[in-house]
Amino acid sequence: MARWHVAADADDWLDRALAFVAAAEAEALAGRGEFHIVLAGGGTPRRLYRALANEDHDWLRWRIWFGDERCLAPDDPARNSAMAREAWLDKVGMPAGNLHVIPAERDAEAAARLYAEELSGLADFDLVLLGLGQDGHTASLFPGHDWGEAEGSATALAVTDAPKPPPERVSLSAERLSRARRVLFLVAGADKRDALARWRRGENLPAAAIRPRAGVDVLMDQEAGA
């Protein structure tokens, strides 16, 4: 089940995204004492991260995970973790011990295995943030690839032939991304209209494979949702 939200303008889109994060944080801290959030890469989530850098939150109780990562050097600016640190995490003094970075400087198979081990003791995420590609991909789950949808699928998948560079990546599986109390897709731009339309028609896209018990929320700007 997906709930579709079209923002009135760029400010409304950002306000809604921030409010969604704040609500998930409040629920998690009140109920469990920690807030486990999965971050997405890409330009659209970066807008949210830059705004979070100017907000006041109980960062010591946040636990940061990543939905996917490119197999590049740790400080390569194309890595999702490097982008999130530059835009937000380093600016708020997020403790290093709260950052659970995919060790993608290793080969994809080793990195996937190590990240799965790190996640083995964690139940549901509190919030998963995801983007949407023009082809309907999300995280590094691409059309025509194994998305790890079935119950009992691997926690993390090694991707060695991604259709966009770099080809070698690590992604949480659809099954693991679906083990979340809340999932928010952040979508912006006219180039996402077709993927959204196909998703809403019920086509079998990677984004549609994310199926948490409570459903997903999809926040679109006017260009994407028109």
Q: What is the per-residue pLDDT across 157-216, written as a single tens digit (0 to 9) for each?
A: 999 999 999 999 999 999 999 999 999 999 999 999 999 999 999 999 999 999 999 999
pLDDT at residue 181, as a whole number = 98
Which residue shows structure tokens 């679906």? 178
pLDDT at residue 129, as a whole number = 99
Question: Which residue ranges form the domains of the chain, and what is each CATH number?
Answer: 2-225 (3.40.50.1360)
pLDDT at residue 126, as a whole number = 99
User: What share of the chain has pLDDT > 70, as a percent?
Assistant: 100
pLDDT at residue 152, as a whole number = 84
pLDDT at 226 over 80: no
User: What share of the chain has pLDDT > 90, as a percent?
Assistant: 96
pLDDT at residue 106, as a whole number = 85
pLDDT at 225 over 90: no
Query: Rounded distance, CA 82 to CA 139, Å?
Result: 16
Whole-number Cα distances in Å, 67 to 2, 55, 207: 19, 23, 13
pLDDT band at 42 (very low <50, low <70, confident <90, very high): very high
pLDDT at residue 1, as a whole number = 87
pLDDT at residue 151, as a whole number = 85
pTM score, whole prediction: 0.97
Q: What is the per-residue pLDDT across 58-79, written as a single tens digit (0 to 9) for each?
A: 999 999 999 999 999 999 999 9
Q: What is the per-residue pLDDT across 124-134, written as a single tens digit (0 to 9) for each?
A: 999 999 999 99
Q: Taking CA 41 as the corner, what is the angle to CA 182 and CA 89, rounded to the nearest 5 degrees?
A: 85
Least Cα distance to 142 among 151, 152, 150, 131 occurs for 131
Amino acid, single-letter form, for residue 177:
L
pLDDT at residue 150, as a whole number = 86
